[in-house]
């Protein structure tokens, strides 16, 4: 009974002597501060909501217009449309007070009219995508319409300093392509993959679909595009992510690595404390909408919708479909160390704990030498299990009692911090160390990452860091922005002293972390089964991180070719040499030029790229012919990339048509075949330079090695790459060990050889033609 009373902050009882009130002052103070913080956030959200609602106008301009309205009225001049006098007629009297009120109301009407005119003007301007297709080649001229468009957009977008979500109301909706256009693009994309007979068959299926059921399905999509903000995003999240039953580990989650060329401290607790502090500061920027939105060329905004769920988010398993749960606020993180879980408070009296105070808490965990409870060490394997099995176990064993409370503590945390008891190592002379670095972040041992959480920060015992992120809540660009911001701030803040500890002295004794309680005995068999399954899964995956230092985007630009197109062509050549054939290739492109946009697929395997690859394998083809064919292939790739960014892609439209057909229970042989085609080469470029803080000239070692993901197809490769400066590229290559046709080491060697061959080709071309040949490459470089 005494323990029960000690567990509550407040108790009330009526006795024969009167009222008996007991309370814990410290806990009530905690509750009070939490409430104050929540109300401050509500007020900040309300203020930001008003600011975003009138953007690009400034809210303070209302007072200027009010002053003008008062001046006009009391000097005998009329406001526009005689608005003041018209409003005054409807007011109780004609006294000075009511005249001032009428002036203010007139000013408010005029101000709102100006605000919405500016807002919808900007929205109409942002619908224009002609700028994307303008030539960037030296000496080329920008068209007059684009020049005028640039001038007006630059004025409107820089009129007022934007908040994170200020442009959301001005972003256009994702356009819906016509069925005919999508069929034309699709058939062109599969031509190099099919022989004449199969291509003719696919042409017939596409024509039948377009002329029959396709029209009906398209009408439903037209209605959805009118009604919803984005006709793709909600279905993409539900059917591609939440309804997937495969384990998140390897199959869905992705990872990011540290800045491997610098080591700020070897002390695990100090690095973890600074990383936690920087992440919480980034969260604060998001919550207060002080984070600047990403602007293409400094004036064209990208959608910021995905940032909302960066923190305090978890994916909750369901028997048939999962759901994303986002908590408005969280005052703690969860720390995982040697199989034990801890709740660590991150606030004190309304402020975020300083790094030196966080280090005290983390050191307490490291010194604890706690022993995991039965089943606790392997508990996270459940999050790496089949989603339906995990949902069933969750409903049975985690729906009540201490298990429910502890699970909710993890899911409501800002994020999970994993303190690993092994190092993350890197040495250019020993490439296997970087490979192991990536594997530890991609899947760890299967139970030292909470795969359901928005992200798990992993800190090694030598101070190196990385993260593992769940994919549903956002695309990699958002996590990449967060991580890039962290790496830069960790360097420039100079947050470590000479001994490697965080700077500063705690102002008070920080609240000590508390162990989470579990009663896992009833579900030990499920945890053991999940552990065996995830161990088998990670043993079937191999990862190779290739560090290409021979050259980078500097040489590619000298060739007047987009670096992304250059690398994609190298991957096509490498894959053809590896597999002896062409394959359907996936490259992720963003559609964040539109509201709630996520990704679209670019198909790098084209008629032009296939012709160039065959020419590279044909010794009778001249070098000049190869250069010309590569330029044509890169042009076609750039056009496909631009189309994807502008809402003219292929795959998201076909995906939505397929979803409608399933709702209507209509069978389509064409859609069934298209949606079942395997992506044997799945690629993605990790964005770099999203924050203006990144200055590689000043801090050349401040660059992450990027990140990666598991293979999409059992007989294919997953390739992520980051163009890290003028002379450095990282490739993260994954494949299944169970497939005899794939080998990450062999494929990495083929990539290196392809890049070397393309360089030799261009060097020979430049030698033969001292003045660089004018490129026919158009469009935005990615």
Q: Is the CB of residue 561 less than 8 Å from the CB of residue 634?
A: yes
Which helix H or strand E contains 553, and what residues bound it? helix 553-558
| Measured distance CA(520)–CA(288) in Å, rounded | 40
| Measured distance CA(765)–CA(772) in Å, rounded | 8
| Measured distance CA(681)–CA(713) in Å, rounded | 8
Say if strands 717-723 and 313-316 run parallel, antiparallel, or are unpaired. Answer: unpaired
| Measured distance CA(690)–CA(486) in Å, rounded | 12
Q: Is the CB of residue 439 less than 8 Å from the CB of residue 449?
A: no
Nearest to 177 by CA among 187, 165, 185: 185
108 to 63, 81, 99, 105, 184: CA distances (angstroms) = 9, 14, 14, 5, 51
| Measured distance CA(585)–CA(140) in Å, rounded | 32
Strand ranges in 435-540 using DSSP code E only, listed in sequence order: 455-459, 465-469, 514-515
**Helices marked H in 594-695:** 607-617, 623-645, 651-663, 669-675
| Measured distance CA(709)–CA(734) in Å, rounded | 7
Which helix H or strand E contains 487, and what residues bound it? helix 476-492
Angle between helix 144-157 and 96-126 (nearest 10): 140
Return the structure tokens found at 567.
């690398």
Catalytic residue among 348, 471, 637, 653: 471
Question: Three-state DSSP class for 351?
Answer: strand
Count of C-beta atoms within a 10 Å radius of residue 28: 12
| Measured distance CA(697)–CA(702) in Å, rounded | 10
Peptide bond into 56 cis (omega under 30): yes
Q: Count of alpha carbons within 13 Å of 651, Cβ hemisphere only?
A: 27
Count of C-beta atoms within a 10 Å radius of residue 555: 19
| Measured distance CA(104)–CA(101) in Å, rounded | 5
Sign of torsion over alpha carbons 661, 667, 671, 676: positive
Count of C-beta atoms within a 10 Å radius of residue 301: 21
483 to 470, 496, 687, 689, 753: CA distances (angstroms) = 14, 19, 11, 11, 31
Q: Is the CB of residue 728 less than 8 Å from the CB of residue 703?
A: yes
The number of residues in the chain equals 782
| Measured distance CA(116)–CA(674) in Å, rounded | 43
Does 326 participate in catalysis according to the annotation? Answer: no
Question: DSSP character for 502?
Answer: B
Tell me the catalytic residues: 471
């Amino acid at each position: 009974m005494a323990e029960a009373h000690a567990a509550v902050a407040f108790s009330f009882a009526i006795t024969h002597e009167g009222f008996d009130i007991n309370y814990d002052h410290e806990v009530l103070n905690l509750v009070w501060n939490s409430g104050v913080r929540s109300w401050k956030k509500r007020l900040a959200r309300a203020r930001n909501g008003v600011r975003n609602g009138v953007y690009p106008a400034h809210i303070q301009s209302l007072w200027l217009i009010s002053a003008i309205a008062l001046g006009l009225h009391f000097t005998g001049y009329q406001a526009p449309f005689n608005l003041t006098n018209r409003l005054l007629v409807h007011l109780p009297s004609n006294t000075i007070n009511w005249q001032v009120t009428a002036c203010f109301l007139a000013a408010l009407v005029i101000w709102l009219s100006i605000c919405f005119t500016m807002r919808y003007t900007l929205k109409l301007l942002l619908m224009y995508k002609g700028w994307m297709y303008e030539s960037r080649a030296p000496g080329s001229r920008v068209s007059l319409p684009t020049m005028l468009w640039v001038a007006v957009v630059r004025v409107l977008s820089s009129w007022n300093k934007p908040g994170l979500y200020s442009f959301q109301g001005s972003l256009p909706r994702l356009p819906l392509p016509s069925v005919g256009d999508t069929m034309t693009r699709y058939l062109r994309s599969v031509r190099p993959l099919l022989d004449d007979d199969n291509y003719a068959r696919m042409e017939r299926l596409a024509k039948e679909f377009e002329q029959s059921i396709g029209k009906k399905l398209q009408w439903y999509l037209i209605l959805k595009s009118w009604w919803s903000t984005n006709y793709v995003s909600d279905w993409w999240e539900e059917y591609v992510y939440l309804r997937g039953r495969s384990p998140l580990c390897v199959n869905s989650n992705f990872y990011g690595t540290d800045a491997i060329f610098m080591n700020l401290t070897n002390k695990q607790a100090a690095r973890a404390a600074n990383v936690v502090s920087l992440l919480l500061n980034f969260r604060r920027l998001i919550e207060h909408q002080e984070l600047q939105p990403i602007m293409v060329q400094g004036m064209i905004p990208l959608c910021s919708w995905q940032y909302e769920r960066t923190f305090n988010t978890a994916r909750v398993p369901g028997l048939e479909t999962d759901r994303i749960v986002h908590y408005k606020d969280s005052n703690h993180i969860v720390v995982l160390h040697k199989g034990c879980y801890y709740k660590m408070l991150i606030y004190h009296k309304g402020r975020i704990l300083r790094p030196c105070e966080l280090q005290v808490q983390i050191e307490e965990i490291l010194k604890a030498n706690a022993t995991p409870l039965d089943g606790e060490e392997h508990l996270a394997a459940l999050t790496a299990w089949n989603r339906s099995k995990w949902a069933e176990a969750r409903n049975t064993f985690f729906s009540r009692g201490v298990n429910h409370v502890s699970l909710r503590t993890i899911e409501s945390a800002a994020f999970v911090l994993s303190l690993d008891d092994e190092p993350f190592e890197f040495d250019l002379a020993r490439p296997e160390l970087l490979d192991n670095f990536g594997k530890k972040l991609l899947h760890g041992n299967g139970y030292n990452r909470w795969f359901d959480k928005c992200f798990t920060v992993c800190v090694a015992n030598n101070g190196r860091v990385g993260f593992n992120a769940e994919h549903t809540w956002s695309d990699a660009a958002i996590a990449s922005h967060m991580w890039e911001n962290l790496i830069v701030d960790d360097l420039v803040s100079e947050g470590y002293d000479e001994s490697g500890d965080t700077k500063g002295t705690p102002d008070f004794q920080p609240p000590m972390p508390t162990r989470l309680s579990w009663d896992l005995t009833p579900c030990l068999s499920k945890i053991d089964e999940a552990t065996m399954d995830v161990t088998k899964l990670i043993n079937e995956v191999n990862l190779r991180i290739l560090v290409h230092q021979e050259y980078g985007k500097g040489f590619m630009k000298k060739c007047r070719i987009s670096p992304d197109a250059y690398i994609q062509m190298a991957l096509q050549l490498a894959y053809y040499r590896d597999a002896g054939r062409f394959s359907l290739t996936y490259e992720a492109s963003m559609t964040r030029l539109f509201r709630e946009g996520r990704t679209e697929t670019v198909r790098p395997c084209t008629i032009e790229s296939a012709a160039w690859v065959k020419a590279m394998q044909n010794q009778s083809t001249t070098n000049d012919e190869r250069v010309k064919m590569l330029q044509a292939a890169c042009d076609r790739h750039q056009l496909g990339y631009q189309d994807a960014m502008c809402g003219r892609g292929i795959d998201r439209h076909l995906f939505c048509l397929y979803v409608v057909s399933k709702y209507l229970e209509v069978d389509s042989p064409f859609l069934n075949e298209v949606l079942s085609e395997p992506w044997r080469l799945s690629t993605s470029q990790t964005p770099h330079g999203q924050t203006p803080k990144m200055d590689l000239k000043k801090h050349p070692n401040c660059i992450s090695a990027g990140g990666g993901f598991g293979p999409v197809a059992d007989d294919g490769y997953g390739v992520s790459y980051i163009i890290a400066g003028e002379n450095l590229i990282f490739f993260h290559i994954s494949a299944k060990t169970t497939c005899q046709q794939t080998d990450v080491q062999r494929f990495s060697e083929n990539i290196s050889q392809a890049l070397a061959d393309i360089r030799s080709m261009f060097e020979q071309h430049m030698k033969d033609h001292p003045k660089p040949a004018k490129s026919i490459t158009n469009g935005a470089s990615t």
